[in-house]
Amino acid sequence: SCISVINGSVRRWPGDGVNLGNGGPTACRVEGVNAEGNSEGIVVNEGVVSRCTASGNAATGMRGLNGVVFDACTARGNGGNGITASNSRLHLSHCTAMGGDNHAFNPGYPPGNGILVCPGATAWLADCLVIGGSGHTIAGAAGLLNLGTTPVGLARTTLGGGFSAPT
C-alpha cells in the first residue's frame, strides 16, 4: 500500500505527528511536513521523507522502521534522538539531526543522540550535520550512536557530540 502526506503541519497531538510505521504501509511519501509538539514527530515504515521538520516533540523527532530515505530534513529540539533507525536501512542526504538536550527541570532525562542506529539497522549519511544533545546536568550525547555491527557510511558529513555539564 502507498500513502502520501504532503505539505502541512501536525502540532500538539497527544500521539505521533505522522505515524506510517509499525508494520504499516510501504512506499510512503512524506514531503513538506512540519511536526511540532507531538509524542514522536514523523514515523515511517518504508519510503521517502523529504523537506520535513520535526521539533519540540516529546520523544524522537523522526524514526525510520524499514527502508527509509530522509532528504533535506531537519530534526532538532525534540525530547529524545533527532533521528532513529530501528531495524532499518536508513539513507540521509542534506539533513540536520540534533539530539534533544537534558534540562535542569528534568535532570534524570538523558540528552538524545543526533542519530541513533539500533541493532539490525544500517545507515548511510551524505552532506549532513549531526550533533548530540547537550547535558546541562549530565554528560552530553553522541552525535551518531551506532549500536549495530555494520559501520555507518559517511560522506561530507559533520558529526559532533553534545556539551557536558561542568564538573
Contacts of 164 (CB under 8 A, 6+ apart): 134, 135, 138, 139, 140
Rounded Cα distance, 128 and 72, in Å? 9
Tell me the per-residue pLDDT of 77-109, one tens digit each, with 9 for 90 and over.
999 999 999 888 999 999 999 999 987 656 667
Closest CA to 64 of 10, 118, 8: 118
Rounded Cα distance, 42 and 30, in Å? 9
Tell me the per-residue pLDDT of 20-61, one tens digit each, with 9 for 90 and over.
987 778 889 999 999 999 999 999 999 999 999 999 999 999
Place of cell 511540532: 36
Rounded Cα distance, 110 and 157, in Å? 25
What value does the mean pLDDT of the chain take? 92
Quick one: pLDDT at residue 105? 59
